[in-house]
């Protein structure tokens, strides 16, 4: 019970923090913000690792964990790379960007 209360406490504070973090985002950053935060939601990968480590090799839970790990890795690696690629395109006028 004590644990649960602590988790809820953290969750509530994080929620308020999330609302406060991005107040005014210029519209040109909407896409990168979205795909960047999408990459962060790949934090589920930690849960996948725990499932792999906590279960004996070959057990059903272990195999589900492997599946979760593969999917989360797609989300994490792809999300960060695509965001970085996008942000690399936002250039000011005085610095001409190389043609993509």
Q: Shortest approach of other proteins to residue 32 CB, angstroms?
A: 6
Footprint of other proteins on residues 48-77 (CB under 8 A)? 48-55, 57, 59-62, 64-77
For position 100 contacting other proteins by CB under 8 A, the verdict is yes
Instruction: Tell whether residue 92 is a contact of other proteins (CB under 8 A).
Output: yes
> Closest distance between other proteins and the C-beta of residue 8, in Å?
9
Asked if 2 is part of the footprint of other proteins (rule: CB under 8 A), the reply reads no
Q: Which of residues 6-25 bind other proteins (CB under 8 A)?
A: 7, 10-11, 14-19, 21-25
d(CA 64, CA 92): 46
Give the number of residues written for the chain. Answer: 100
Dihedral, 26, 30, 36, 39 alpha carbons, nearest 10: 160
- Residue 28 binding other proteins, by CB under 8 A: yes
Q: How far is the CB of 45 from other proteins (least distance, A)?
A: 6
**Which of 17, 5, 69 is closest to 43 using CA atoms?**
69
For 21, 38, 81, the CA distances from 12, given in Å and listed in that order, are: 14, 20, 30
């Amino acid at each position: 019970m004590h644990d649960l209360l602590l988790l809820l406490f953290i969750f509530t504070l994080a929620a308020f923090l999330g609302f406060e973090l991005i107040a005014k985002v210029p519209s040109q950053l909407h896409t990168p913000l979205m795909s960047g935060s999408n990459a962060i939601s790949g934090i589920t990968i930690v849960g996948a690792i725990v499932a792999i480590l906590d279960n004996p090799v070959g057990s059903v839970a272990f195999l589900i964990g492997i599946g979760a790990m593969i999917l989360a890795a797609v989300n994490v690696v792809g999300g960060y790379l695509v965001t970085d690629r996008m942000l690399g395109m936002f250039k000011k006028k005085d610095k001409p960007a190389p043609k993509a």
